[in-house]
């Protein structure tokens, strides 16, 4: 679990690496149990505690860099750079952070099962957390696709 001081220093390092010192703040939220974090155009990174608490320090580090790069890409290049765009990827590369998946931090099956009993695992290795109702539908034959590789999930 990263301390607040470690998170602050990760953000400072991203700002100096990218050469842009737009203020970035962190808030914690107990909402959105399936999300890890999100960046706002106002320079705030919201961390969703439910998933955050099961991440490794490296996953937390990569998540902070990922979200901080979203905020800086917007400030440096405008709205065309918002999202997982080439400008954002360039900043991520500068910071030495992986951008392969569109997900901030893929969870292992063990991590996902700490969060929810309704977890599916795709052949690509991604863990997919369903809601209770979705999980019931899956058990009755509804098809769901993996968000990472788009394959149909199997029982
Ligand atoms: Zn993102
Ligand atoms: Zn997959």
Judgement on whether residues 89 and 140 belong to the same structural domain of the protein: no
The bound ligand whose nearest atom lies closest to the alpha carbon of 64 is 1
Judgement on whether residues 112 and 89 belong to the same structural domain of the protein: no
Residue 137 lies in a domain: yes
Domain that residue 13 falls in: 4-94
pLDDT of residue 98: 84
The bound ligand whose nearest atom lies closest to the alpha carbon of 127 is 2
Judgement on whether residues 27 and 54 belong to the same structural domain of the protein: yes
Residue 99 lies in a domain: no
SS3 string, the chain, reads CCCHHHHHHHHHHHHHHHCCCCCCEEEEECCCCCCCEEECCCCEEEEEHHHHCCCCHHHHHHHHHHHHHHHHHHHHHCHHHCCCCHHHHHHHHHCCCCCCCCCCCCCCHHHHHHHCCCEEECCCCCEEECCHHHHHHHHCCCCCECCCCCCECCC
Sign of CA pseudo-dihedral 111, 92, 5, 58: positive
Judgement on whether residues 120 and 87 belong to the same structural domain of the protein: no
Residue 101 lies in a domain: no
pLDDT of residue 104: 52
| Long-range contact pairs involving 105-111 (C-beta distance under 8 Å, separation at least 24) | 105/36, 105/55, 105/59, 105/62, 105/63, 105/66, 106/148, 107/51, 107/54, 107/55, 111/54, 111/55
Q: What is the pLDDT of residues 65-100, one digit of tens each?
A: 999 999 999 999 999 999 999 999 999 999 999 886
Judgement on whether residues 110 and 88 belong to the same structural domain of the protein: no
**Boundary residue ending a domain (56, 74, 94):** 94
Judgement on whether residues 46 and 16 belong to the same structural domain of the protein: yes
149 Cα to the center of ligand 1, angstroms: 17
Judgement on whether residues 13 and 61 belong to the same structural domain of the protein: yes
Domain count, the chain: 2
17 Cα to the center of ligand 2, angstroms: 33
- Pairing outcome for strands 44-48 and 37-39: antiparallel
Ion ligand 2 neighbours (CB, 5 A) are 122, 124, 126, 146, 148-149, 151
Residue 43 lies in a domain: yes
Of the CA atoms within 13 Å of residue 44, those in its CB half-sphere come to 8
The bound ligand whose nearest atom lies closest to the alpha carbon of 125 is 2
> What is the distance between the alpha carbons of residues 104 and 109, in angstroms, rounded to a whole number?
16
The bound ligand whose nearest atom lies closest to the alpha carbon of 69 is 1
Judgement on whether residues 50 and 81 belong to the same structural domain of the protein: yes
Judgement on whether residues 14 and 57 belong to the same structural domain of the protein: yes
Judgement on whether residues 56 and 110 belong to the same structural domain of the protein: no
The bound ligand whose nearest atom lies closest to the alpha carbon of 146 is 2
**Boundary residue ending a domain (44, 59, 94):** 94
Q: What is the pLDDT of residues 114-155, one digit of tens each?
A: 888 888 888 888 888 888 888 999 999 998 888 778 889 888
- Enter the pTM of the model: 0.77
40 Cα to the center of ligand 2, angstroms: 27
Q: What is the CATH number of the domain that holds 71?
A: 3.30.2010.10
């Amino acid at each position: 679990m990263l301390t607040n001081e470690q998170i602050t220093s990760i953000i400072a390092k991203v700002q100096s690496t990218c050469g842009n010192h737009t203020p970035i703040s962190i808030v914690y939220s107990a909402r959105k149990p399936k999300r890890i974090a999100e960046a706002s155009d106002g320079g705030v990174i919201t961390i969703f505690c439910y998933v955050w608490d099961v991440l490794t320090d490296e996953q937390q580090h990569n998540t902070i860099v990922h979200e901080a790069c979203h905020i800086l890409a917007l400030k440096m290049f405008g709205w065309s750079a918002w999202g997982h765009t080439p400008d954002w990827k360039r900043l991520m590369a500068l910071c030495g952070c992986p951008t392969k998946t569109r997900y901030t931090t893929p969870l292992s099956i063990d991590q996902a099962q700490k969060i929810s009993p309704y977890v599916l695992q795709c052949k690509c290795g991604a863990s997919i957390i369903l809601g209770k109702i979705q999980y019931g539908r899956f058990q009755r034959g509804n098809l769901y696709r993996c968000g990472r590789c788009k394959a149909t999930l199997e029982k």
